[in-house]
């Protein structure tokens, strides 16, 4: 079930209250690409810190996915961690081997649980699906040891990743957890974003096209709102139901397509060439990518009715197409 931004923050807030009372918590926040997960993570981290919790944050990265202990280093060697603790962690991570990994994980977990004796600890990992293997095993180890400790784990991940290949999800979802999926912006919310950038009258006229073309993706909606603000309030109604767009939207769409591996951008380029003739087998032939399996990940949502509307579509639905 999808929840809006405010609802997810409310649920996380209640989990934090339970954590402070001594019950460990695990929250998995998922959503489409550029759906607002990182913004929500920062907002919750600020809230948790304001309540007096020790908030340890990290972000997974495709570039560092093969660096052992990269996420663990971010969590336990950051500025909020006592220096003596971070020094011990640094030494441990520099000497870990396959033979010593088990005791190292136990020691790292013990270090964090020691911090939780002083005040609640929130461990927040953004893009957790990009965590290195050692850190993923540390998170799973910590969850198993913190059921009765004031420790809350909050992990965000893109829901494109297949569960079978997600190191973090595979281990952690065996434990009791709360799964929160961020919903895209509603039509009313898109109207509000556009009204804040232009005028209420302008927003009512243009918001339906923006919402239809972006499927409510927050990054693309805000980018189009910026383009509309820059283009001025005198624009006529959008032609053929397509929203007016400019450089902010172009940059946002490119940012979406380059956040993941090269296959996503290649897929978008293939769809741009094939347009309405695209099928999975034909797309695989044109791009050289393997066709999707018949089972597993569900098919993307149908594209907007107009081929040109794909230029504004969220990557979760359809990547941009070539200009006409």
3-state helix, strand, coil in the chain (%, to 5): 55, 10, 35
Residue % of the chain over a pLDDT of 70 = 84
pTM across the whole model: 0.79
What's the pLDDT tens digit per position in 5-39? 899 999 999 999 999 999 999 999 998 888 889 99
What's the pLDDT tens digit per position in 46-78? 999 999 999 999 999 888 888 999 999 999 998
Measure the CA–CA gap between 113 and 17, rounded to whole angstroms: 18
Measure the CA–CA gap between 311 and 122, rounded to whole angstroms: 39
The dihedral built from the CA positions of residue 292, 298, 300 and 305, taken in this order, carries a sign that is positive
Measure the CA–CA gap between 53 and 51, rounded to whole angstroms: 6
CA 210 to chain centre: 22
């Amino acid at each position: 079930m999808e929840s809006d931004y405010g609802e997810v923050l409310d649920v996380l807030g209640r989990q934090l209250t339970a954590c402070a009372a001594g019950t460990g918590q695990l929250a998995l926040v998922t959503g489409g690409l550029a759906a607002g997960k990182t913004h929500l993570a920062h907002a919750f981290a600020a809230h948790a810190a304001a309540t007096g919790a020790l908030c340890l944050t990290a972000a997974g990265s495709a570039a560092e996915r093969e660096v052992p202990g990269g996420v663990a280093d971010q969590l336990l060697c950051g500025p909020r961690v006592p220096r003596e603790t971070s020094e011990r962690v640094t030494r441990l991570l520099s000497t870990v081997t396959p033979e010593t990994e088990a005791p190292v994980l136990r020691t790292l977990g013990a270090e964090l649980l020691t911090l939780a004796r002083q005040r609640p600890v929130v461990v927040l990992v953004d893009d957790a699906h990009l965590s290195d293997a050692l850190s993923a095993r540390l998170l799973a180890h910590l969850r198993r040891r913190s059921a009765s400790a004031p420790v809350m784990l909050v992990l965000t991940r893109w829901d494109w990743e297949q569960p079978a290949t997600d190191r973090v999800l595979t281990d952690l979802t065996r434990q009791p957890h709360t799964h929160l999926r961020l919903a895209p912006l509603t039509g009313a919310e898109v109207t509000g974003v556009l009204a804040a950038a232009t005028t209420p009258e302008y927003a009512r006229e243009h918001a339906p096209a923006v919402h239809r073309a972006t499927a409510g993706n927050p990054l693309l909606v805000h980018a189009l709102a910026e383009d509309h603000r820059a283009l001025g309030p005198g624009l006529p109604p959008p032609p053929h139901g397509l929203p007016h767009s400019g450089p902010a939207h172009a940059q946002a769409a490119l940012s979406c397509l380059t956040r993941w591996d090269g296959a996503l951008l290649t897929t978008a380029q293939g769809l741009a060439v094939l347009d309405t003739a695209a099928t999975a087998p034909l797309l695989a032939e044109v791009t050289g990518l393997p066709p999707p399996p018949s089972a597993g990940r569900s098919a993307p949502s149908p594209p907007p009715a107009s081929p040109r509307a794909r230029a504004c579509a969220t990557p979760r639905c359809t990547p941009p197409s070539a200009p006409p």
